[in-house]
Amino acid sequence: MNANKRKIINDPVLGFITIPSDLLYDLIQHPYFQRLNRIKQLGLTSLVYPGTQHTRFQHSLGSMHLMDECLTQLRVKGVEITEEETEGALAAILLHDIGHGPFSHVLEDSIVQDIKHEELSLMLIQEINTELNGLLATAIAIFTNTYPKRFLHQLVSGQLDMDRLDYLVRDSFYSGVVEGSVGADRIIKMLHVANDSLVVETKGIYSIENFLIARRLMYWQVYLHKTALAGERMLVNILTRAKQLTRKGESLFASPALTYFLTNRANKALFESTPEVLKQFTLLDDADITCAIKVWVNHPDLILSTLSEHFINRKLFKVKISSTQFSEDEITTVQNKFINTFSISAEEASYFFSYITLTNDTYNEKNDNIKILFNDGSTKDISDVSDILNTKVLAQNVHKYFLCYMPL
Amino acid sequence: MNANKRKIINDPVLGFITIPSDLLYDLIQHPYFQRLNRIKQLGLTSLVYPGTQHTRFQHSLGSMHLMDECLTQLRVKGVEITEEETEGALAAILLHDIGHGPFSHVLEDSIVQDIKHEELSLMLIQEINTELNGLLATAIAIFTNTYPKRFLHQLVSGQLDMDRLDYLVRDSFYSGVVEGSVGADRIIKMLHVANDSLVVETKGIYSIENFLIARRLMYWQVYLHKTALAGERMLVNILTRAKQLTRKGESLFASPALTYFLTNRANKALFESTPEVLKQFTLLDDADITCAIKVWVNHPDLILSTLSEHFINRKLFKVKISSTQFSEDEITTVQNKFINTFSISAEEASYFFSYITLTNDTYNEKNDNIKILFNDGSTKDISDVSDILNTKVLAQNVHKYFLCYMPL
Amino acid sequence: MNANKRKIINDPVLGFITIPSDLLYDLIQHPYFQRLNRIKQLGLTSLVYPGTQHTRFQHSLGSMHLMDECLTQLRVKGVEITEEETEGALAAILLHDIGHGPFSHVLEDSIVQDIKHEELSLMLIQEINTELNGLLATAIAIFTNTYPKRFLHQLVSGQLDMDRLDYLVRDSFYSGVVEGSVGADRIIKMLHVANDSLVVETKGIYSIENFLIARRLMYWQVYLHKTALAGERMLVNILTRAKQLTRKGESLFASPALTYFLTNRANKALFESTPEVLKQFTLLDDADITCAIKVWVNHPDLILSTLSEHFINRKLFKVKISSTQFSEDEITTVQNKFINTFSISAEEASYFFSYITLTNDTYNEKNDNIKILFNDGSTKDISDVSDILNTKVLAQNVHKYFLCYMPL
Amino acid sequence: MNANKRKIINDPVLGFITIPSDLLYDLIQHPYFQRLNRIKQLGLTSLVYPGTQHTRFQHSLGSMHLMDECLTQLRVKGVEITEEETEGALAAILLHDIGHGPFSHVLEDSIVQDIKHEELSLMLIQEINTELNGLLATAIAIFTNTYPKRFLHQLVSGQLDMDRLDYLVRDSFYSGVVEGSVGADRIIKMLHVANDSLVVETKGIYSIENFLIARRLMYWQVYLHKTALAGERMLVNILTRAKQLTRKGESLFASPALTYFLTNRANKALFESTPEVLKQFTLLDDADITCAIKVWVNHPDLILSTLSEHFINRKLFKVKISSTQFSEDEITTVQNKFINTFSISAEEASYFFSYITLTNDTYNEKNDNIKILFNDGSTKDISDVSDILNTKVLAQNVHKYFLCYMPL
């Protein structure tokens, strides 16, 4: 290995991270990957947990490190994994988040449309692959689940993938919500492969139960914390208003890249037909949004300036939560207040509040199951093995309804 | 407060622990309390988790510290707690384990009979109270749940008492089983009192779910670990054999205190009728047992010496676990092996194996519930609130059957 | 205290931080303080230690928390501190960094001139004080060291102030350089006041030695790490070039606030004569700089675009370090390379390298000493007490010379 | 590797420890090694730091783990180390403390004479080597510094050996004295070999300075803490008195092994001439001492019973410390008090106090130096490189004088 590329990175969460190969070093140095150092992992969660300033860069490195440890463990247990597969799996997990935009879950609702960050990740990985003359072929096959050894894909994207293990440990560490930690080390030591499928050895059952409950705690206590959600809804409304004004021809301060997305309707079709969109996308990060909104505080548009000023100075929407739908009446009452107070139209009033439904599967779109491996070689789903976890709840989605509005 | 008694103790788990008053200083200095420094919190668990060498002394100090923090929190929330009640609750939790003997759960099966460590704790607290001219009256009332403010007793002995919070955090820390940690700080911040009953504020639901699952993990992964259980069963058999030999008139090396318990049948009746028993009990600690067994390695009795040698040198019983009862046949087969191998009687053979049933409520005899406090002032049981935890399982006991035997 | 303002903030480093009073809550909510959440504590250090993304907001809260603990300790020891002084000291430490700009040490060399962040902090505190009708009078007196009890100022700005204790613990935590940690808890427990001066009890000598060595390690290993310095020099050169181009009349993308500082010469005189400067200063944060530089990558000016592109994509200046001055020759050789390669003037070439002298007192301008309190009431300087630390070195500054240049 | 021997041990300090080979598994299972689980690493330090209950067993495993990591690092850097050397170095460090007795530094002053624990370790390793038909030949050569590659011995016993790295990290962890931690991971990453000598790469200078200061802090704050020393002096006096009484023919309760050492003069000559002594030595652990002293509380001898009662119930000797010798007069004054109070002889009075000189090299008998490796291949002593550490002090011993006495 090239001596200049043999680097060790200090990670406060996982300790020293060794860069495993020249290829991985080059990927980390790539401008698309360096961009992740300017995108916070948890977006607006720092409104509630000020410690959560960590970036997708760190998370991606951490996931790669756990993948490295996991593959080593599996090989010790006799699972056959070639050098090429190792590098492929490491590259796939390193780059899995490369398509994230600033405040990503927000952006998917406002700046871009009908396209998910996973699709953008794949487009970018393919572009890098072209630059590298095909060195990422195995990584792409693993990432897209077309590689014959399916368990490698599960390690990149599955119920117990290295992505999740890293983000649960990391987000718990940085938020200070210590109960959210999941013993990634121990879980990795208990992973195995049976019938080309990732499984957990029996003695790992309690760790898995704990993992599922810790994840649930992190969702409701951190990821879906109402104050962070309030901030996100404000951000969506601000960006939607900015797009509306831009398209009406008003002039708004913004970086060229952000202007591009305020002006154009960046949906999947456009990304596929127009290479320029992806190019512009790679220029965006958290700074474009923050910088613009600070300037919009002084914009003549009442809606844009009010929301921007409140957002920047942390005067957040109030939130009402319910486990059942809010009635039309309740929502209309809120809307009318803004119509009357500001003498604005119903459409304009709609920027001052937001009504959304959340399900805990917001972060849970991975539908394969966690399988337990018994000593006789048979496997069972964790929901059939664990007596304490309510299997129906594990299968179901929990819905919560949030009505957020600017306090008057 | 007396300047000489204003001490700060360094605890690796909870940080600096301040001794809150002169009375508590004097209790800590009492020989009965100092004895706890010679009794390991987790007995033979160190056979599996070598880090678990911590003592009941540390755990008792830690519980007192959490109680101090908890009472401060409750007072900030407007719960009325007097100075006297504070000192009473602190003394009660500090002394709650003072009746533990060496390898306590084992001793309750062998050295003493029909008497629980809680009863011994009370006897000893009453004796200290007499020495201190009644200064522990409130502590005793809280400990025995006769004090009017019932929630104070719940903090000493209940589903969310300071005992549990400390031992889960502490045992997780020393064993290295990090997932067993329970966020004691956060739970304490969410406690409140409603209708003289300890309750948890709604936002604490996920922490409580996590607490229940972490506790479950600690039971099966640490407290009831099969290897530690194997060691405990050996210890019970060794002590039972030693008693039998002693009562038959054979001479065994032992400290005078241990000899007393090998000779006499120390049941509840004897403790109540004969003050000497309690006196002798306070002289016992882990060292008496360890020191004696090392000497018994060379005793002429084959059973005693074999078991002692295996125990000291960590050649432990093998364990078979089942979720259903073992058949008579299976057990007899094991027994016959020893009869044949050593040419001994069935009764003698029974020392070389052990068949036990374990339920996860071994450590769970506290039957009050965890109540959640809603914003409207109503309360509900956690099992009615949490959708993910299987309520029946929370109410039920899980049985596991262990067949342990010396390998031949 | 107002129930809505009784908040607890989760800090991964120090645990739960309680906001001590309504005034402090209001200060934390102030837009000037919220701005600190958009300024990283360690600027470009994250180029080397990717974990160091924490903000001045967190550090300020942490310093306030340590101050709270420290004042409590001192009062227990009998030091008289009134409620008003407590709130004053808490406000002073909370706001001590409020005058920091983005990438602050860099900005002081480029965007603003001849004015230090401490002076800007004072200006902003005075402005907030006016808003609050004088509620910060005591805080200002303590901050400016005009308050009669001088030790309160030492806790805000001195060899052992709460600022340092927090940043050493915090920067060690986030960088993963664990040896840099300083036992803030223990040091706080050993502080006392003698003759209106902060002193350390004798038993704290070893902790202080360790503090001095840990601080030294953090300087050279983290704060003055050559790679972060290389990034800083690039940033200075980029901003200097941007100012030059702006003043020549070229159009550069930048937020209005940044444009203001590129256009005007913001020195102390201007800050004092023109209130608009301070106003514009409070609108700047890290995002303005990052967002602009990303756009400058495409600027027609070769120097600006080249440096910007290298900076954003982490192609950093190489660094040569020496403990003696570099010769004129060595520097000219470097300069000539750029003159020849790009066919540019000597003045233009100077943007592609940087030659600086660093002393470890860069962060060490506080010249009071650490005094040890002996049992007889006398005090001595730590350098007279510690036999292991070289007193001359403690008094002296270490110089290191850095020659940074863009690799060709 | 034998599947049954492929074990992972959970260490709260270092994480998961993998047993590297069958031989090492067998050594860990050996009764001589298992005995270390019954000997506390820090003896009576738990009188002050109740968290320090960890055993020499854990420390030995931890040292082995660090050795494993260190050898891996060195091989990555190109240092040639064979499989056999690896196993030899691992075995040597695993067994380096096997000759420790209970409360070891105390025992060397009382129970045994003129023989150090290192000599006893060697005797026991040789005995195990015989059992294993010479499998430990390389380990013994490394341990005794007769192996050609001298740096392997330095890793077992030198200024930066794995023993020290583990005990500083571990003792800091368990005592809660966090500043004593030394960044073992980082130091190991900076080790290299030059001219068959262990060296530290230049960038490690600050870590080494920090290591030296942290070690010093641990000595004075933990290892030589006056309260623990007071306990040790009491223990020496108790055992000395017990020996005296035994040799006068009085009957004392003690385990057979302890009785052996009370009766016989176990010096080096006896160990070498009489195999039985070593055999008896391997039967001793902390429990023998604790168990006996508890019984001696009731012995008719006033001196033995008084000291034992005080020791067991933590009524410790008071301590006066001075940096200069105490005068004859001061000592005689103390002695006379006991003569007069108890009407005893001068010789008898001497049991109630103790006068000792301590030097910080008590734990520092390893006289090789720490060498720094420069980029040009040259090496220099750390004391010539570090400007902040006082080189003379590093070379000198600090003396402190302790006068301990039972309070009357």
Cβ separation B15–C185 shorter than 8 A:
yes
| Percent share of chain B, pLDDT over 90 | 78
- Name the more confident of C270 and D386: C270
C11, C55, C314 member nearest A34 (Cβ) = C314
- Token duo for residue B32: 């009965």
Of D10, D283, D294, the CB nearest to B177: D10
Q: What is the structure's pLDDT at C165?
A: 96
pLDDT given for residue D394 in this prediction: 61
Sequence-distant (6+) residues with CB within 8 A of A238 are A293, A296, A304, A307, A308, A311
Contacts of B175 in chain D (CB under 8 A): 10, 12
Residues 6+ apart with CB under 8 A from A20: A64, A68, A86, A87, A90
pLDDT of residue C145: 97
Distance from CA of D322 to the nearest CA of C (A): 13
What pLDDT is attached to residue C362?
A: 36
- Give the start-end residues of each E strand in A269-398: 318-322, 353-359, 371-373, 379-381
**Cβ <8 Å between C287 and A287:** yes
Could you report the per-residue pLDDT of B214-235, keeping only the tens digit for each?
Answer: 888 898 899 989 999 999 999 9
Q: What is the pLDDT of residues B53-76, one digit of tens each?
A: 999 999 999 999 999 999 999 999
| Cβ-contact C192, C201 below 8 angstroms | yes
Domains and CATH numbers, chain C: 3-224+370-404 (1.10.3210.10), 226-265+284-359 (1.20.1250.30)
Compute the nearest-CA separation of C75 from chain B (Å): 14
Judging contacts by C-beta atoms under 8 Å, the chain C residues touching residue A11 are 50-51, 176
Answer whether residue A70 shows pLDDT above 50: yes
What's the mean pLDDT in A110-125? 92
Q: How far apart are CA B42 and CA A346, in angstroms?
A: 66
Q: What percent of chain C has pLDDT over 90?
A: 78
Cα–Cα dist B367/A172, whole Å: 32
The minimum CA-CA distance between B244 and chain C, rounded to whole Å, is 54
Average pLDDT in chain D: 92
| D163 token code pair | 């023993």
Q: How close, in Å, is residue B186 to chain D by CA atoms?
A: 22
DSSP code at position C223: I
Distance from CA of D217 to the nearest CA of A (A): 25
In this structure, what token pair is assigned to residue D261? 């050492």
- For residue D367, pLDDT over 80 is answered with no
Tell me if D387 and C394 make a contact (CB, 8 A cut-off).
no
Q: Which of D179, D211, D221 is nearest residue C182 as measured by Cβ atoms?
A: D179
Interface confidence, given as ipTM, is 0.94
Of B101-105, C251-255, D297-301, D343-347, where does mean pLDDT reach its minimum?
B101-105
Q: How far apart are CA A256 and CA A243, in angstroms?
A: 14
- This model's pTM is above 0.80: yes
Neighbours of D367 (CB within 10 A): 8
- Nearest residue in D to C205, CA atom: D217
Summarize the confidence of residues D172-190 as an average pLDDT: 91
Angle between helices D226-247 and D256-263 (to 10 degrees): 80
Give me the residue from D186, D213, D388 closest to C390, CB to CB. Answer: D388
- B329: how many CB neighbours lie within 10 A of its CB? 8
Distance from CA of A189 to the nearest CA of D (A): 10
pLDDT of residue C395: 61
User: Is residue D43 pLDDT above 60, yes or no?
Assistant: yes
- Which residue in the block uniquely carries the two structure tokens 């920091």? C100
In this predicted structure, what is the pLDDT of residue A4? 73
Of B8, B16, B189, the CB nearest to C8: B189
pLDDT band at B396 (very low <50, low <70, confident <90, very high): low
If you write DSSP's letter for every residue of B248-298 in order, what string do you get?
Answer: TT------HHHHHHHHS-EEHHHHHH-HHHHHHHTT--HHHHHHHHHHHTT
Q: Is residue B283's pLDDT more than 90?
A: yes
Decide if pLDDT at D105 tops 90.
no
Looking at per-residue pLDDT, the higher value among A314 and C408 belongs to A314
Q: Do A179 and B210 touch (CB under 8 A)?
A: yes
The larger pLDDT score, comparing residue A194 to residue C323, is at A194
Q: How far is CA B371 from CA A190, B76, B169, B207, B381, in A?
A: 35, 20, 22, 13, 5
- Greatest C-alpha distance within chain C: 72
Model confidence over C203-225: pLDDT tens digits? 898 889 889 888 888 988 999 89
Interface size A-C, in CB pairs within 8 Å, comes to 109
User: Which class for A378: exposed (0-12), middle (13-18), buried (19 or more C-beta within 10 A)?
Assistant: exposed
- Measure B10 CA to nearest chain C CA, in Å: 10
The confidence score (pLDDT) of residue A241 equals 97
Cα–Cα distance measured from residue A201 to residue A382, given in angstroms and rounded to the nearest whole number = 11
Residue A189's pLDDT is 93
* pLDDT reported for residue B60: 98
Report CA torsion sign: B222, B223, B227, B228.
Answer: positive
Q: pLDDT-based confidence at C365, cuts 50/70/90? A: very low
Pick the residue with more confidence: A59 or B359?
Answer: A59
Helix axes C162-175, C205-218, angle to 10 degrees: 60
**D189 to A15: CB separation less than 8 angstroms, yes or no:** no
Task: Select from D15, D185, D189 the Cβ nearest to the Cβ of A185.
Answer: D15
Of the candidates A215, A177, A216, the residue with the CA atom closest to the CA atom of residue B183 = A177
DSSP conformational letter for A157: S
Cβ pairs A/D, distance under 8 A: 8
Judged against a pLDDT cut of 50, whether residue B361 lies above it is answered with yes
**The tokens of A162 are what?**
């290295």
Higher confidence at residue B389 or residue C65? C65
Report which of B204, B211, B176 is spatially closest to residue B190, judged by C-alpha positions. B204
The pairing of beta strand A197-201 with beta strand A371-373: parallel
pLDDT of residue A395: 61
A17 contact residues in D (CB cutoff 8 A):
none
Give residue ranges of A with CB < 8 Å to any C CB: 9-13, 15, 29, 31, 34, 37-38, 40, 46, 49-51, 53-55, 57-58, 61, 173-177, 253, 255-257, 283, 285-288, 290-292, 294-295, 312-314
Please report which residue ranges of C47-183 form alpha helices under DSSP H: 56-76, 83-94, 104-110, 117-131, 137-143, 150-156, 162-175
Among B16, B185, B189, beta carbon nearest to C189: B16
pLDDT value, residue D319: 95
Confidence of residue B393 (pLDDT cuts 50, 70, 90): low
Where residue B363 falls among pLDDT bands split at 50, 70, 90?
Answer: very low
Chain B contact partners (≥3 CB pairs within 8 A): A, C, D
pLDDT band at B362 (very low <50, low <70, confident <90, very high): very low
Mean pLDDT of D244-273: 96
Q: How many whole angstroms separate alpha carbon B294 and alpha carbon D285?
A: 10
Q: How many alpha carbons lie under 13 Å from residue A328 in its C-beta half-sphere? A: 0
DSSP SS3 for B71: helix
Q: What is the mean pLDDT of residues D196-222?
A: 90
Band the pLDDT of D396: cuts 50, 70, 90: low
Model pLDDT for residues A219-262, shown as the tens digit of each residue: 889 998 999 999 999 999 999 999 999 999 999 999 999 999 99
B202 → chain A, closest CA residue:
A221
Summarised one tens digit per residue, pLDDT across range A77-114 is 999 999 999 999 999 999 999 999 998 777 777 889 88
Q: Which residues, 6 or more positions from A216, have their beta carbon under 8 angstroms from its beta carbon?
A: A360, B206, B209, B388
Q: Check: CB of residue A267 under 8 Å from CB of residue A114.
A: yes
How many CB pairs below 8 A link C and D?
75
